[in-house]
Amino acid sequence: MTGLVIALLWFPLLGAAFSRLAGRTSWFLAGAGANALALFVAGVLHIPLKPVIAVLGLSAIAVMAMTPSSGARVPRASEVRSALPLWITAFVLLIGAVITPLNDYDGRAFWMLKAKAIAHEQRIDGPFFQLQSTHSPRNQYPLLAPLDAATVMMFARDGDDRHARALFAMFAIALAFEVRRRFAEWFSPSTAVWLATLLLWIPQIETAGGGARSAGADVPLAAFVGCAFFELIEARAPLRLGLWLACLVLTKNEGVPFALVFLAAGVFVFRRRIIAAAIPLAIAIAAQFAWRARIAPTDEQDFLGQLPGLPQHIGRIGEVLREFLPRFGFLWIAVAVAIAVLVVKRAWRPLVFGLVAILPMLTLYTLAYVVTDWTIAELVRVTATRLLSHFVAPALFLIAAALHVTQSKRWGEISEPSPARS
């Protein structure tokens, strides 16, 4: 229960303070991102982690006390009633995650082991990451999720993984509520509720192996992809976009190209204001480089190093597609239909946003399968559903845009999407 309380209080407190400064956003996701970003930079600078956590908490309380409310409020009973499917699904998922023990492979082998080590050593470049104590597979994996989990463990004064169970489920739940909030503004409240609920029912998200009930970093990455994507569409707060881009870099290796794609798209959306987003991203990338230069090398596959071999392996593309495409599932059939609707109805703006968020990274993932040293079928079997989960928010956006194609078309004529008519 300690972990549940911390996940529901600490991260939302930090996120609420961030929202006061940078505008309304998901409290939990902003808090989880700001907490890990601050701890990571502090860790690289050799500043002890516990004092940083204390300073973060005090700063958040000070911001909440000294700045006016950004308009966020506790939901009314009628709003909860209208979103009952979402609340019930979120409750079952969260309580289920808290009650059932962690049993996924990557969560224990890589991510949670790092969290335990950070909580134990109070450092991100101590003996564990120097491979001087414990065997540390995937030693250079980014640390956002482990740092948040370690924070929970430090509060609980116990390195047991049960304390972090709620944290990982909350990434999916917070994304679902952010989808609901955004889609209610842009499309309609009822579409927002049902698509947000659907997000928690998608097999890639719901599953205990790599999904919301695991301790992996794929659902957190999907959450930050969703938030960054929504900032691009809203085109209002480049600083918030910067936080999400930094979080992408610090969550998974795939987050770096994701962040660069969104930054490039952000140049067209924000023009010169994109500088505000580029600064946190640059800090995260620089800190990541500095940290990796200081710790022991990793045992993971060097995808970038294999890319030059693409011309020799391009013949394997057929095998990759044969293995990869059957993993896409019903959501992607709906996305294909949605794309067709948007093309036919000439709703170009939402179509372009959705495709920019999906196509470059989907192409990159496909190329990664082409150049891999692993058996393609085996690698696809193990990773495909997790990789596809990264696109869940843009995928749902395309579906919502197709369902509200008249409103979506108006986006091409006005600078910002207008509030929805239900």
Give the rounded distance of the alpha carbon of 7 from its chain centre. 16
Q: Scanning the structure block, which residue is given the tokens 């947000």?
A: 196
The CB-of-375 to other proteins minimum distance in angstroms stands at 15
Q: Is 422 in the site for other proteins (CB under 8 A)?
A: no
Each as own residue / partner, the long-range contacts of residues 9-12 (CB below 8 Å, 24 or more positions apart, any chain) are 10/35, 10/57, 10/151, 10/152, 10/155, 11/35, 11/148, 11/167, 11/170
Whole-angstrom Cα distance, residue 376 to residue 190? 41
Q: Is 130 in the site for other proteins (CB under 8 A)?
A: no
If the CB atoms of residues 69 and 103 are measured against other proteins, the closer one turns out to be 103
Q: Is 350 in the site for other proteins (CB under 8 A)?
A: no
Q: Which of 108, 292, 316, 327 binds other proteins (CB under 8 A)?
A: 108
Burial (Cβ within 10 Å: 0-12, 13-18, ≥19) of residue 198: buried
Q: Which of residues 172-201 bind other proteins (CB under 8 A)?
A: 191, 194-195, 197-198, 201
Contact 142, 185 (CB under 8 A): no
Element housing 314 (H / E): none
If the CB atoms of residues 143 and 367 are measured against other proteins, the closer one turns out to be 143
Burial 239-273 (b: 16+ CB within 10 A, else e): bbbbbbbbbbbbbbbbbbbbbbbbbebbeebbeeb
The CB-of-98 to other proteins minimum distance in angstroms stands at 9
Q: Is 152 in the site for other proteins (CB under 8 A)?
A: no
Contact 179, 227 (CB under 8 A): no
Q: Is 340 in the site for other proteins (CB under 8 A)?
A: no
Q: Which of 21, 58, 61, 109 binds other proteins (CB under 8 A)?
A: 109
If the CB atoms of residues 158 and 319 are measured against other proteins, the closer one turns out to be 158
Annotate each residue in 273-312 with x if it binds other proteins (CB under 8 A) or - if it does not, as one string.
Answer: ----------------------------------------
Which has the closest alpha carbon to 200: 222, 185, 217?
Answer: 222
Q: Which of 72, 206, 273, 376 binds other proteins (CB under 8 A)?
A: 206
Instruction: Output the DSSP codes for 126-164.
Output: STTTTTSSS--TTTT---HHHHHHHHHHHHHT---GGGG
Q: Which of 67, 130, 133, 375 binds other proteins (CB under 8 A)?
A: 133
If the CB atoms of residues 248 and 358 are measured against other proteins, the closer one turns out to be 358
Q: Is 162 in the site for other proteins (CB under 8 A)?
A: yes
Q: Is 124 in the site for other proteins (CB under 8 A)?
A: no
Contact 231, 397 (CB under 8 A): no
DSSP 63: H
If the CB atoms of residues 69 and 134 are measured against other proteins, the closer one turns out to be 134
Give SS3 for 390: coil
Q: Is 326 in the site for other proteins (CB under 8 A)?
A: no
Whole-angstrom Cα distance, residue 138 to residue 393? 28
Instruction: Output the DSSP codes for 232-262.
Output: HHH---HHHHHHHHHHHHHH-TTHHHHHHHH
Contact region for other proteins (CB under 8 A) — 3-11, 150-158, 325-333, 361-369? 325-333
If the CB atoms of residues 144 and 198 are measured against other proteins, the closer one turns out to be 198
Q: How many residues bind other proteins (CB under 8 A)?
A: 42
Contact 251, 221 (CB under 8 A): yes
If the CB atoms of residues 187 and 244 are measured against other proteins, the closer one turns out to be 187
Please report, in angstroms and rounded to a whole number, the separation of the first and last CA atoms in the chain: 39
The CB-of-331 to other proteins minimum distance in angstroms stands at 8
The CB-of-385 to other proteins minimum distance in angstroms stands at 11
Q: Is 403 in the site for other proteins (CB under 8 A)?
A: yes
Contact region for other proteins (CB under 8 A) — 2-10, 89-97, 305-313, 347-355? 89-97
Residues that bind other proteins (CB under 8 A): 89, 92-93, 95-96, 99-101, 103, 105, 108-109, 112-113, 116-117, 120, 133-135, 137, 159, 162, 191, 194-195, 197-198, 201-203, 206-208, 213, 329-331, 334, 399, 403-404
